[in-house]
């Protein structure tokens, strides 16, 4: 498969090296204008007609990775708006949308569905280019309904990605320190990770400031569901005109934070493992929705020296190293605990509004409360006693 790879540098974390492209050039103007007006079209009674009447999407005019990511963002938002943006969901996506969405996704080696990469990683701009990527200086490029709750929900994730950069930059150096038996360097790397985990936790704590649980459930969440294990689309979605699918409905999972590479990367480095059950298979499946370069990093980390085993051998002689490692594990566990608390408040406690937006099934198509609680408990089991 031909893959369009965006540049990747762990020093910038999992955010793109360069700020995301804000618009495609002239051949895409009708698609860009429709995307920009999507909140207005969603309030109309003929969104689907508008999307079906758009001119052909000229995929052959895309050349750079940033352009493919911008195209993926537009097609993903418009595709989900077509499926979920009317009184009842559509099990069929017209060829006008389905074919270019498949072609662009194929080039990016991701499924044609809205994933975390398009929803968050490539969906921001800086208000002041001289200031960093952080809350207070970032805005979304694309919304569904729009409004402060949707904006804030996604911006929180973008700020988390930005604050995780020191942790991501320390991953490979930490493994190199293990390989070189450099405990001083390893202690420094683990300290960087621990401090970054404290920062992303502080950002996650800010979610309730501008994102109401009720508004999130009723106005934000409905659009990010996929068509795998969703009761309202039991067979999945038909991508009309896509020959590769042979007129068979496809079941892709919706956008979910499990598609962020931060926690999987830290799990891999720290040796936090999950039991062989459907949850573990689900976590591995989520990698298919990540950018290729992020998946490759997870593979590299898994192939590296086993950091936890290295620290276990020194647990009676190097208390500082063990403390730093345990601090990282507790940071992961604390982040997961707060995420679980929000999942309960923002989804599980809400009054279900219909089959398309269940309170017991996550946007990724899993029984999320049980899985998130299991994540949290399994994380803490990897603390090292002295």
The tens digit of pLDDT for each residue in 181-205 reads 999 999 999 999 999 999 999 999 9
- pTM of the predicted model, to two decimals? 0.95
Domain membership of residue 86 (yes or no) is: yes
Q: pLDDT tens digit string along 35-48?
A: 999 999 999 999 99
In a domain, 152, yes or no: no
pLDDT score of 245 more than 60: yes
Does any domain span residue 346? Answer: yes
Q: How far apart are CA 176 and CA 182, in angstroms?
A: 8
Segment (H or E) for 332: helix 319-343
Is the domain of 183 the same as that of 293?
A: yes
Q: Do 318 and 170 share a structural domain? A: yes
In a domain, 141, yes or no: no
Please say if the pLDDT value at position 1 is more than 50.
Answer: no
pLDDT digit string (tens) for 273-291?
Answer: 877 777 778 889 999 999 9
Q: How many domains does the chain have?
A: 2
Do 176 and 234 lie in one domain? The reply is: no
In a domain, 148, yes or no: no
Tell whether 121 and 193 lie within a shared domain: no
Residues 47 and 168 occupy one common structural domain: no
Within a domain: 4: no
Could you please report the per-residue DSSP string of 268-326? HHHT----SSHHHHHHHHHGGGS-HHHHHHHHHHHHS--HHHHHHTTTTT-HHHHHHHH
Residues 171, 274, single domain; the answer is: yes
Q: Is 61 a domain residue?
A: yes
Q: 334 and 237: one domain? A: no
Q: Alpha carbon 232 to chain centroid distance?
A: 23
Q: Note down the domain range covering 195.
A: 163-210+257-380
In a domain, 142, yes or no: no
- Say what the pLDDT of residue 368 is: 65
Question: Domain holding 294: CATH number?
Answer: 1.20.58.480
97 and 227 assigned to the same domain: yes
pLDDT-based confidence at residue 2 (cuts at 50, 70, 90) = very low
Question: Collapsing DSSP states into helix, strand and coil, what is residue 239?
Answer: strand
pLDDT digits (tens, 9 = 90+) for 64-91: 999 999 999 999 999 999 999 999 999 9
Residues 58 and 173 in one domain: no
Q: Are residues 81 and 176 in the same domain?
A: no
Position 118 pLDDT exceeds 90 = yes
């Amino acid at each position: 498969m031909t893959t369009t790879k965006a540049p990747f540098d762990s020093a910038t974390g999992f955010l793109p090296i360069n700020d995301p492209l804000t618009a495609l050039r002239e051949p895409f103007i009708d698609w860009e204008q429709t995307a920009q007006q999507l909140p207005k079209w969603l309030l109309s009674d003929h969104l689907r007609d508008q999307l079906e009447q758009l001119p052909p999407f000229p995929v052959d005019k895309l050349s750079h990775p940033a352009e493919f990511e911008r195209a993926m963002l537009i097609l993903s938002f418009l595709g989900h708006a077509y499926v979920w943006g009317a009184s009842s969901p559509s099990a069929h996506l017209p060829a006008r949308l389905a074919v270019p969405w498949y072609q662009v996704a194929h080039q990016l080696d991701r499924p044609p569905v809205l994933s975390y990469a398009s929803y968050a990683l490539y969906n921001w701009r800086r208000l002041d280019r001289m200031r960093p990527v952080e809350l207070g200086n970032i805005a979304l490029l694309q919304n569904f309904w729009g409004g402060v709750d949707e904006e804030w929900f996604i911006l929180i994730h973008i700020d988390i990605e930005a604050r995780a950069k020191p942790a991501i930059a320390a991953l490979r150096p930490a493994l190199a320190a293990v390989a070189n038996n450099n405990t001083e360097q390893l202690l420094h790397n683990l300290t960087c990770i621990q401090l970054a985990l404290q920062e992303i936790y502080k950002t996650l704590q800010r979610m309730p400031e501008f994102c109401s649980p009720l508004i999130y459930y009723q106005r934000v969440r409905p659009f990010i569901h996929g068509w795998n294990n969703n009761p309202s689309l039991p067979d999945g979605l038909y991508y009309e005109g896509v020959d590769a699918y042979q007129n068979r409905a496809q079941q892709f999972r919706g956008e979910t934070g499990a598609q962020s590479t931060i926690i999987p990367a830290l799990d891999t480095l720290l040796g936090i493992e999950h039991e062989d059950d459907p949850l573990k298979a689900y976590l591995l499946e989520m990698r298919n929705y990540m950018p290729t370069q992020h998946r490759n990093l997870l593979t590299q980390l898994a192939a590296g020296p086993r950091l936890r085993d290295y620290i276990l051998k020194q647990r009676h002689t190097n208390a500082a190293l063990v403390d730093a490692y345990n601090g990282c594990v507790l940071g992961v566990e604390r982040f997961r605990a707060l995420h679980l608390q929000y999942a309960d408040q923002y989804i599980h406690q809400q009054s279900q509004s219909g089959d398309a937006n269940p309170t017991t099934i996550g946007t990724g198509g899993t029984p999320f409360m049980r899985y998130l609680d299991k994540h949290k408990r399994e994380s803490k089991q990897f603390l090292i006693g002295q």
